[in-house]
Amino acid sequence: MGDSVSAPVIAGLAVGIALVTFFSVMIKPDSALSDKELVSKYSKVPEVSYFLDKYPDAKTEVDRNPVEEYLTVSFTIERHLAPSSVFYSGNHTLGVNVYAKPNHLSLAIFCGMGGMTGEWGLSGMDMIDEAEKECFQTTTREEAQQGANPEGLVEVIAVDFSPSLKEQDIVVMKGQTVKIPVMIESGKDTEKVLSLSIISRSDVPDSSELELSLDNGRIVLSKDDIAQGKAQDNGFGRLLRDAGFLTISASSTAKAGTYEYGLEASSEGDGGDGMGAGQAFRVTVIG
C-alpha cells in the first residue's frame, strides 16, 4: 500500500517542480532571462509557434538594447533561389521579429531579398503565409516588384534602404587608424533622411582604447542623387550612394581580440524602436 501512495505523490511533486520552474521564468523580467530562456518564452507566442511549426530548423538570435530597454528575439529561415526561378536570385531570408519592452510586445514578419529588406507588422498566421509566398515563390520581375508589400500585410516600417561596408572583417594593428568606405543602397526614387550609428554587439574596449566613428551621421537620399554625381546605378532599379567612411583607431595599449559591432541606418521619419536596416561587422585588434 505504501508504494501505491508514494508513486502518485512523487509524480505530483515532479509536476509541481516543473510548474514552479515554468512560472518563475514567466514572471522574471526579460532583462534577467538568458538568451535561451527568452527564445523559449517567445517561441510560445502563437504567431511564432506557427512559424516554427513550418520551419523547425529556424535560426534564433537575441539582440538586447539595455539603454532603450527593449530587446529583439529573431526567428529566421534562409533559402537559396536560383537565377532562373526568381527576379531577385540568391539568398532569401524570411523571419519573425519579436520586439519586447516592459509592458509592451510587438511582432513583425520580414523578408530580405535582392539587397532589400521589407518588414511588416504581424497579427495573424495568414500574414506569415502571405509573406512566405512573396519571399520564396516570386517568379517574375513584375511579381517581385508587386511583392514589395504582400496583400494583407500592413504599412512597411523598414524597407528599401540598407547600409553596407566595403569590408566586414576589419583588422587593425595597435597604434593604427584605418578607414572603411560606407555605402547606402536604396531604390532610385527613395527620398529619405537616414541616421547612421555604430552599436556594439559584444563586450568591446573603451573608446579610449578602440574608437569607432562615422564621417556622416546623417545622410539625405534623393532621387536626383545620380544626376548630381552622388550615386551610381547598381542595377535592378537600385542606387549605391557614398556615405563617407567608418574610421577605426586602436591605441597602442588596446587589448588584442575580435569585437562585434553593427552599422545601423534608420529613417528619421519612421520613429520606431530599433526599426531600420543594419550590417554586422567585426574588428580584430592585433599586434
Considering the entire predicted model, what is its pTM? Answer: 0.47
Q: Tens digit of pLDDT for each residue in 54-73?
A: 999 999 999 988 776 778 89
3-state secondary structure of 119: strand
Mean pLDDT, residues 25-44:
82
With respect to residue 155, please indicate whether it lies within any of the assigned structural domains: no
- Assign residue 254 the CATH number of its domain: 2.60.40.10
CB contact at 8 A, 165 and 263? yes
Domain that holds residue 115: 35-146
* Among 146-160, 224-238, 259-273, the least confident range: 146-160
User: Which of 122, 28, 112, 44 shows the shortest CA–CA distance to 78?
Assistant: 112
Distance CA 254, CA 47 (A): 45
Q: Tens digit of pLDDT for each residue in 3-12?
A: 444 544 444 4
Residues 41 and 15 in one domain: no
3-state secondary structure of 84: coil
With respect to residue 270, please indicate whether it lies within any of the assigned structural domains: yes
Task: To the nearest 10°, report the CA torsion of 45, 48, 53, 57.
Answer: -130
Mean pLDDT comparison of 102-111, 148-157, 174-183, 274-283, highest-scoring range: 174-183
Please report the pLDDT score of residue 195 as a whole number.
87
User: Which of 35, 111, 100 shows the shortest CA–CA distance to 69?
Assistant: 100
* Among 29-38, 47-56, 148-157, 266-275, the least confident range: 148-157
Among candidate residues 120, 146, 172, the one where a domain is terminated = 146
